[in-house]
Amino acid sequence: MMRKFTILFVLAATSFAIPAFGQQSVSFDGYTVHYNALSTSQLTPQVAQAYGIQRSSSRALLNITVLDANDEPTEARVTANARNLTGQRREIDMRKIAEGDDAIYYIGEFRVNNMETFDFTVDVRPEGADKPIEVTFRQQFYTE
């Protein structure tokens, strides 16, 4: 329970404290996908260690959560990639973190440079869903 609270608090606090990294969501076909991306240097050392995340100003974390119509965490198949403005594409390996029955996160780390802007494409197929949900967004990262 404490680990769940810790990561929820850190990710939520970071999301609201820095508008450029605010959490967004999209709803489709009875599911809501929450997504955000932030520098891993914004995580506390304890959270990074607990979840095997490398803290660095040149690394970012993509965080995806899927909720059903009752706001219950839902398992999904999540794939993600990002393309910077020069066209370089980065596949983001997503991994599942489950906090009992209370929370499921899908996170992926990737390298970033100062002032680099990425266009993200995230495909989410909730367990039992007929169609995938495509999430697209643009974000710029600052490493200095």
Rounded to an integer, the average pLDDT of 39-45 is 95
Q: How confident is the model at residue 47 (pLDDT cuts 50, 70, 90)?
A: very high
**CATH code (residue 30):** 2.60.40.3340
* Residues 103, 75: Cα–Cα separation, whole Å: 10
pTM for the predicted model, two decimal places: 0.84
User: Considering just the CA atoms, what is the radius of gyration of the chain in Å?
Assistant: 15
Question: Residue 128: what pLDDT?
Answer: 87
Q: Give the model confidence (pLDDT) of 95-114 as tens digits.
A: 999 988 889 999 999 999 99
Which structural domain range is residue 63 located in? 2-141
Rounded to an integer, the average pLDDT of 57-83 is 96
* Residues 50, 34: Cα–Cα separation, whole Å: 22
Q: Give the model confidence (pLDDT) of 16-37 as tens digits.
A: 333 344 559 999 999 999 999 9
DSSP helix, strand, coil percent of the chain (3-state; round to 5): 20, 50, 30
* Residues 53, 59: Cα–Cα separation, whole Å: 10
Q: How many domains does the chain have?
A: 1
